[in-house]
Chains A and B, each alone.
Chain A
């Protein structure tokens, strides 16, 4: 009997594509023959916009890339600018430690949304509600430090925009300690669950060498047995001072990536607790008057402070000619910023290397030849966010 394949459209309005992703799927019965992703529906021209703004004005644009992990985006950008300026060593200890605390909270925040939606896609609704309950607490912490629940805009070139408010350290500590118990709860609902295992073990397989070739990074690469972690290997901020493990699993399937991410959340909570122990009073901005804004009390009380503030806000600062590439371990993988300076107050070129963009590229080779239902699980396990794919 003659058979023919059928082409169907999935997205851009589809709850399981995690945003405005469109997939054109060619199906033979229920088997996927070919998958073609179409992206760009959320393209806002972040890189073009940044060429027309001062270095400080770009920070709020980076929040809107991976909107589930805004502080990681801020961090990658400010680290790149600091390297371009050559002031990486001048960042005060306290600023670095708070950066670590906030980016690890961001990792938890991003992974909680991943777990919630991934489980919901596969049919486990309860986990979704639990995860969003915990995420809410992180969102509250965000609001207390930066004033915003999602688009934080908290880090500055040279340090932070504000110190932690009184009493927040205790709140973060209580939250981080509670995470271990919550993670047991999630695992209790999923890890031993027969349906969860059937839907994830062996699904979305990719081997280690293939994963490197296609450029997977982060948990997606660690789930395929490649020991990679830029926090340990590139050691930005003061990650070298913390004791944490890098979970790696060999299986290369959806279940392995699930376990890797859950273990990563435990490690993130451990890092937060260690960082809180280390936290000492001190300055939160580098001593670089040509780059950093002066303290507010100088701005409102002295003419020199006011002029200083005005100069930095209106003119910005001018890094010398040159270029840097800085990659950090964002929750979704390697987030890279390639910055080119021509000696003016605006980035001449800013290229963002978004982890989701590259990870999504692996989707066709992971789903071709599998069942249609597994496409949903594979999109979930890649943990993509269209905000940073489309930029």
Chain B
């Protein structure tokens, strides 16, 4: 099923589909960052991935490009899942918002901005959501200490 979607997506976007990975029966498609809104709109309208389950960022510190934004979608008609990813640069990380495609992305993107510092262009309301408004830094980044800033590291066992 997902093979057809990959073919369809490649037929439409060609080289903008960078690679596809199958792992444990799940398909991940990496696409060009600049085209994410077009890809998501196409997947929603022409492949009926009308439900965005989840959107999140991952910090691969030490790799270039450093960040990845991951879109987990669900097709309510044939009950399949699909994962789309974009690479995001470490300096001034930003992606176009998909909150115009699925409004559920609004809070997910706010959370991604809050915890990982990935900004979303044209987002209607890009504010912090979980951390206090005056918080400095983005806690889920790999270079952010677990104890929080300006604190002695915990001396006991963590694992």
- Whether both chains belong to one complex is answered with yes
Known: A327-B74, A358-B107. Contact between A351 and B51, CB under 8 A?
no
Quick check: B102 and A215 within 8 Å, CB to CB?
yes
**Segment at the B interface, from A2-10, A49-57, A285-293:** A49-57
Residues of B within 8 A of A336 (CB): 53-54, 72
Contact code string B7-26 (vs A, CB < 8 Å = 1, else 0): 00000000000000001101
A361 within 8 A of B: yes
A84 within 8 A of B: yes
Shortest Cβ gap from A51 to chain B (Å): 8
Distance of A316 Cα from B102 Cα, bound (Å) = 39
Distance of A146 Cα from B69 Cα, bound (Å) = 38
Quick check: B54 and A351 within 8 Å, CB to CB?
yes
Query: Size class of A's contact patch?
Result: 35 or more
Contact code string B69-97 (vs A, CB < 8 Å = 1, else 0): 01010101001010100000000000000
Residues of A within 8 A of B128 (CB): 40
Shortest Cβ gap from A356 to chain B (Å): 11
B158 within 8 A of A: yes
Quick check: A338 and B129 within 8 Å, CB to CB?
no
Shortest Cβ gap from A197 to chain B (Å): 31
Residues of A332-352 at the interface with B, using a CB-CB cut-off of 8 Å, are: 334, 336, 338, 340, 345-346, 348-349, 351
Residues of A within 8 A of B130 (CB): 39-40, 43, 390-391
Quick check: A361 and B106 within 8 Å, CB to CB?
yes
Of all chain B residues, the one with the shortest Cβ separation from A49 is B146
Residues of A within 8 A of B140 (CB): 47-48
Distance of A258 Cα from B140 Cα, bound (Å) = 37
Of all chain B residues, the one with the shortest Cβ separation from A232 is B79
Shortest Cβ gap from A310 to chain B (Å): 14
Residues of A within 8 A of B26 (CB): 323-325
Quick check: A48 and B146 within 8 Å, CB to CB?
yes
Distance of A226 Cα from B89 Cα, bound (Å) = 39
Known: A48-B146, A327-B74. Contact between A322 and B23, CB under 8 A?
yes
Residues of A within 8 A of B131 (CB): 40, 43
Shortest Cβ gap from A38 to chain B (Å): 9
- Taking a contact as CB atoms closer than 8 A, the residue among A53, A213, A345, A351 that contacts B56 in the complex is A351
A147 within 8 A of B: no
A30 within 8 A of B: no
Of all chain B residues, the one with the shortest Cβ separation from A340 is B58
Shortest Cβ gap from B143 to chain A (Å): 12
B41 within 8 A of A: no
Quick check: B159 and A228 within 8 Å, CB to CB?
no
Residues of A within 8 A of B58 (CB): 340, 348-349
Quick check: A214 and B104 within 8 Å, CB to CB?
yes
Quick check: B146 and A325 within 8 Å, CB to CB?
no
Distance of A100 Cα from B158 Cα, bound (Å) = 32
Distance of A348 Cα from B60 Cα, bound (Å) = 9
- Taking a contact as CB atoms closer than 8 A, the residue among B23, B28, B104 that contacts A215 in the complex is B104
Distance of A54 Cα from B158 Cα, bound (Å) = 9
A128 within 8 A of B: no
Of all chain B residues, the one with the shortest Cβ separation from A327 is B53
Quick check: B54 and A57 within 8 Å, CB to CB?
no
Residues of B within 8 A of A228 (CB): 76
Quick check: A346 and B159 within 8 Å, CB to CB?
yes
Contact code string A210-230 (vs B, CB < 8 Å = 1, else 0): 001111000000000010100
Distance of A327 Cα from B51 Cα, bound (Å) = 13
Contact code string B37-61 (vs A, CB < 8 Å = 1, else 0): 0000000000000111110101100
Quick check: A334 and B53 within 8 Å, CB to CB?
yes
- Taking a contact as CB atoms closer than 8 A, the residue among B72, B106, B139 that contacts A325 in the complex is B72
- Taking a contact as CB atoms closer than 8 A, the residue among A323, A345, A348 that contacts B28 in the complex is A323
Residues of B within 8 A of A234 (CB): 79
Residues of A174-230 at the interface with B, using a CB-CB cut-off of 8 Å, are: 212-215, 226, 228
Task: Kindly name the residue among B28, B72, B81, B104 whose own CB sees the greatest number of chain A CB atoms within 10 A.
Answer: B104
Quick check: A53 and B104 within 8 Å, CB to CB?
no
A83 within 8 A of B: yes
A353 within 8 A of B: yes
B156 within 8 A of A: no
Of all chain B residues, the one with the shortest Cβ separation from A40 is B130
Shortest Cβ gap from B94 to chain A (Å): 20
Task: Please list 20 pairs of residues, one from A and one from B, whose beta carbons are closer than 8 Å in the complex, sorted by A's number.
Answer: A39-B130, A48-B140, A52-B159, A54-B159, A84-B24, A212-B51, A215-B103, A233-B79, A234-B79, A322-B23, A323-B28, A325-B53, A325-B83, A327-B53, A327-B81, A336-B53, A338-B56, A340-B58, A353-B54, A357-B107
Residues of A within 8 A of B (CB): 39-40, 43, 45, 47-49, 52-54, 57, 83-84, 86, 212-215, 226, 228, 233-234, 316, 322-325, 327, 334, 336, 338, 340, 345-346, 348-349, 351, 353, 357-358, 361, 390-391
Which 7 residue pairs are nearest across A and B when measured between Cβ atoms?
Answer: A215-B104, A40-B130, A351-B56, A353-B54, A322-B23, A233-B79, A43-B130
